[in-house]
Chain A
Amino acid sequence: MVTQSGQGEQMGAGEQQDARQGPGQKTPRWTHEMLMNMDRRFIFVVIAIAVAAPLIFPLNLPVRSSREAEAYFNEMEKLQPGDEIIFSFDYEPDTMAELDPMSVATLRHAFRKDVRVLAQTTYAGGVGIAERILRQVAQEYDKVYGEDYVFFGYNPDYSATILRMGESIRSNYPTDHYHAPTDGIPLMKGVDCYDDIELLVTVTASALAEYWIIWAGGKYKQRIIAGNTAIQAVLIYPYYQAGQLAGFLGGLKGAAEYEKLIGVSGAGLLGMDAQSVAHLAIVCFIILGNIGFLIQKSRTKQTGGPRDSRQGG
């Protein structure tokens, strides 16, 4: 697969090479050029198939849990019936596919253990997500709003929200998301700051986990676990190793590991085959591109011609 424009560009380089080699010594350059200049539409189609096919025909690849996911699970498992946790939906619809499975699995685990949940979001776009997931999981476990869980909604300014909840949740949220006074909510009896909370869970696609660790963890010594997108997970590794973060889930793989640990299959486990095949497809493309690049490099060396600086990057 060669793009029309790519073909044109390569013709120029090839013609120069032919001129150097003389007539009758034409090299089959189309092979490495093909490998180096695949049409992006071809790549898009392969990735689409790599994602869709395993969803239709599951491979059921085995999922092994990482120590971070096990630590996350253990923190949840330590909770006793009647304990309270804060659950912060710190993401918007763009990362729903990666983070919703973590939120659903964590709430299932909490409600299964009769742990009470104080939910909130630091993103305006997180309100709709939080309401949908809370409603869905609460129905599964027959949980009652106000007694087993409460939703405070969105408060502007995450830094002040995180810090003020260490002083008083009531002063930060005088009412819940549905305008009911916080003082009148049965679940809130005897609960007003981090000292009354066993565990804080943040599921986020941004640096919010770091902010929770620095402000709620550093200043108020709140125990924290986090669910992150795969890219963000790499950035919070140091906090986990330092013990500032008690456990975390990284990307859809983290969600799948946690689902396996709690024994409830969900979107995380379902997506593992697709993610595996898609990653493999990307790696194959990279390898093919490099084979082409190395062939070109060796031929350029043999002919003593200049390197084509347009290739690669």
Chain B
Amino acid sequence: MKRTGPVVFGFLIGMLMLIQYFTQVPWIDDRYNNVLDWKQVVFGITLILGVVSLFLHHWKKIERKTGGWGYSVVTIAGLLFMIAAALIFGREEGPYPWMFDHVQAPMQSTMFALLAFYVASASYRAFRVRSFHAALLLTAGVIVMLGRVPLGEMMGFHIGEHYFSLGTISTLILDYPNLAAKRGVMIGVGLGMTATAIKIILGIERTYLGKGA
């Protein structure tokens, strides 16, 4: 029963969701909305769980004074401050929105902006024409990189009467080789997901029940 119960439950819910997609029966629609309600409730609880485990993880680091425990103090102080600020002053005014606009937003933007520098340095070191394939990748990369900005659109060449800008070639690369590869991957992923879903509904795939299932 310990194993059969969840498998039968999974089969019933799975079939219900499958049938719901193709029908307009009010009773099934109501059950579908129930499932969506539960999903949001469970997701909300996982957020609380995440905050509590983050707090406990850093609290233990501070207690044991393990390496980098000072950062844990900052993490917990930030967490508690934001909760207290929102509870005392509200979310719309006071320190809570101020901290978001003047601390969190600039810090996150700065971290992301640093990527530009690291991407420049990494691509300079990594893109080397070591083989035919590498040369192909490099050429496509350079064309798309330049073709997607106004400067690249101004660069191009004539073949007979036709003018090909880097922008046009970049679009061709995105439209054909990129699209073909992406579609292949998407179809493969879609078939894999369908197969896995059928296996779960039919109780063939039971790893979600834990070890020994």
| Measured CA separation A121–B40 after assembly (Å) | 15
- Annotate A40-66 by CB proximity to B: 1 below 8 A, 0 otherwise: 100110011001000000000111101
- Assuming the contacts A164-B33, A238-B186, A282-B119, asked whether A96 and B124 have C-beta atoms less than 8 A apart, the reply is no
- Assuming the contacts A128-B97, A159-B39, asked whether A43 and B120 have C-beta atoms less than 8 A apart, the reply is yes
Give every chain B residue within 8 A of A131 (Cβ-Cβ): 92, 97
Q: Does B150 contact A (CB under 8 A)?
A: yes
Q: Of the candidates B40, B91, B113, B125, which one forms a contact with A155 in the assembled complex, judged by CB atoms under 8 Å apart?
A: B40
Task: Tell whether, in the assembled complex, residue A40 and residue B146 are in contact, meaning their CB atoms are under 8 Å apart.
Answer: no
Task: Tell whether, in the assembled complex, residue A93 and residue B105 are in contact, meaning their CB atoms are under 8 Å apart.
Answer: yes
**Shortest Cβ distance from B134 into chain A, in angstroms?**
9
Q: Does B24 contact A (CB under 8 A)?
A: no
Give every chain A residue within 8 A of B108 (Cβ-Cβ): 92-94, 96, 125
Task: Tell whether, in the assembled complex, residue B151 and residue A280 are in contact, meaning their CB atoms are under 8 Å apart.
Answer: yes
Q: Does B174 contact A (CB under 8 A)?
A: yes
Determine chain A's interface SS by DSSP, over half rule.
helix
| Measured CA separation A218–B116 after assembly (Å) | 36
Which of A81-89, A140-148, A181-189, A288-296 is the contact stretch? A288-296
Q: Would you list which residues of chain B between 92 and 116 have a CB under 8 Å from chain A?
A: 92, 97, 100-101, 104-106, 108-109, 111-113, 116
Q: Does B4 contact A (CB under 8 A)?
A: no
| Measured CA separation A273–B112 after assembly (Å) | 20
- Assuming the contacts A272-B150, A285-B120, A290-B138, asked whether A312 and B33 have C-beta atoms less than 8 A apart, the reply is no
Task: Tell whether, in the assembled complex, residue B152 and residue A313 are in contact, meaning their CB atoms are under 8 Å apart.
Answer: no
Task: Tell whether, in the assembled complex, residue A97 and residue B113 are in contact, meaning their CB atoms are under 8 Å apart.
Answer: yes
Q: How many A-B residue pairs have CB under 8 A?
A: 158
Counting chain B CB atoms within 10 Å of each CB, the highest count among A159, A163, A286 belongs to A286
| Measured CA separation A280–B143 after assembly (Å) | 11
Give every chain B residue within 8 A of A157 (Cβ-Cβ): 39-40, 43-44
Task: Tell whether, in the assembled complex, residue B146 and residue A283 are in contact, meaning their CB atoms are under 8 Å apart.
Answer: yes
| Measured CA separation A38–B105 after assembly (Å) | 33
| Measured CA separation A289–B134 after assembly (Å) | 14
- Annotate B79-98 by CB proximity to A: 1 below 8 A, 0 otherwise: 00000000000011000010
Q: Interface size on B (CB < 8 Å)?
A: 56
List residues of chain A with CB under 8 Å of any chain B CB: 38, 40, 43-44, 47-48, 51, 61-64, 66, 92-97, 125, 127-129, 131-132, 155-157, 159-161, 163-164, 167, 171, 178, 219, 230, 234-235, 237-238, 241, 250-251, 253, 272-273, 275-283, 285-286, 288-290, 293-294, 311-313
**Can you pick out 8 interface pairs between chain A and chain B where the beta carbons lie within 8 Å of each other?**
A47-B116, A66-B171, A92-B108, A93-B109, A159-B39, A164-B36, A276-B152, A289-B125
List residues of chain B with CB under 8 Å of any chain A CB: 21, 29, 32-33, 36, 39-40, 43-44, 47, 91-92, 97, 100-101, 104-106, 108-109, 111-113, 116-117, 119-121, 123-130, 138, 142, 145-146, 148-154, 167, 171, 174-175, 178-179, 182-183, 186
